[in-house]
Amino acid sequence: MKNSTGDIQKSWMIFAKIEVMNNPIVTHGNLDLLSFIKTIKYTNLKGCLIMDKLIECIPNFSEGKNQETIDGLVETAKSVQGVTLLDHSSDTNHNRSVFTLVGNEDGIQEVAFQLVKYASENIDMTKHEGGHPRMGATDVVPFVPIKNITAEECVEISKKVAKRVNDELNIPIFLYEDSASTPARRNLAKVRKGQFEGMPEKLLQDEWAPDYGERKIHPTAGVTAIGARMPLVAFNVNLDTDDVTIAKKIAKIVRGSSGGFKYCKGIGLMLEDRNIAQVSMNMVNYEGTPLYRTFETIKFEAKRYGVNIIGSEVIGLTPAKALVDVAEYYLQVEDFDYSKQVLENHLI
């Protein structure tokens, strides 16, 4: 990937939800970036010293409906010294929650373990239903280098957490992305194929023995993927149709695994509470495949079915540059230099 740790620091995480009404994309920031920069630069992030190594962790949990369980995850996230909970969001259609935390080495490892533990005790995968693919109560735990730390160090952190989770909770673990033990395991979609219901049989296959643990799933918590990666953007586009097959066909066109954009992973699913279809994507390299490129392709393909885009959203936190690239494209800004012309970059 192009994105270096330095780039991540410069474009650091600005919480934004994108609401797209036709064109162009309009962003609504929910975080004062200047205030957040001052927090990082001049004060501690809940027990983190200025020179500490900072790691981001974005665990995904297979619960988006039970508020009591979600509140318990929030309290667990807030209970660990050296870690700050930056954001959390839940989706009832996906039946999934995404948390974003940042902390020092010790804190981020401890909070990741405690969250997996809480999820394993309070989420029963045998009763889980939702639109998003999943294989465990804690589905995936990525670690992302933010400040004073390398991707290689995050790989080691992921392995330490993976071993502890298996040793103490008896949950089988797949290492994925930069931590993967085989090329096939870099891709989360391949790791998760079969989902919770298909995992008992999958783990018996020679090529899919867990990296940590026995070849049998935890009876209620399933299987978890843990690894290190660079930042991605979770980007969803909503369509004014209740025909989910259209969203699935469009997702197949844009995702890299079926010949679409190299750095796009996508599925089509139904938002039952709104009775609309959605193309749900992970943009694993937002510079290699910018958001506007997939957005425009989805808009073009949707028109073939007489369907329009009625909105889009970014889930969780996203690097600022991913959104600036969108603005630069739609505003047709000439000779724009992100590193020089964005005020906040000079304040970090």
Residues with a known catalytic role:
132
Query: Which residues of the chain form beta strands (DSSP E)?
Result: 13-19, 26-29, 54-57, 60-61, 83-91, 96-103, 138-147, 173-177, 224-228, 233-239, 264-271, 276-283, 309-315, 317-319
Pairing of β 13-19 and β 26-29: antiparallel
Query: Which residues of 53-208 form beta strands (DSSP E)?
Result: 54-57, 60-61, 83-91, 96-103, 138-147, 173-177
CA-CA distance, 177 to 268, in Å (whole number)? 23
Sign of CA dihedral 119, 140, 88, 309: negative
CA dihedral 104, 91, 3, 55 (to 10 degrees): 0
CA-CA distance, 117 to 73, in Å (whole number)? 10
Burial class for 232, CB neighbours closer than 10 Å (0-12, 13-18, 19+): buried
User: How many of the other CB atoms lie within 10 Å of CB of 332?
Assistant: 7
CA-CA distance, 55 to 52, in Å (whole number)? 9
- For residues 279 and 237, the answer to whether their CB atoms sit within 8 Å is yes
CA-CA distance, 235 to 347, in Å (whole number)? 28
Q: List all residues 6 or more positions away from 240 whose beta carbon is below 8 Å from its beta carbon.
A: 276, 307, 308, 309, 310
Residues, the chain: 348
User: How many of the other CB atoms lie within 10 Å of CB of 23?
Assistant: 12
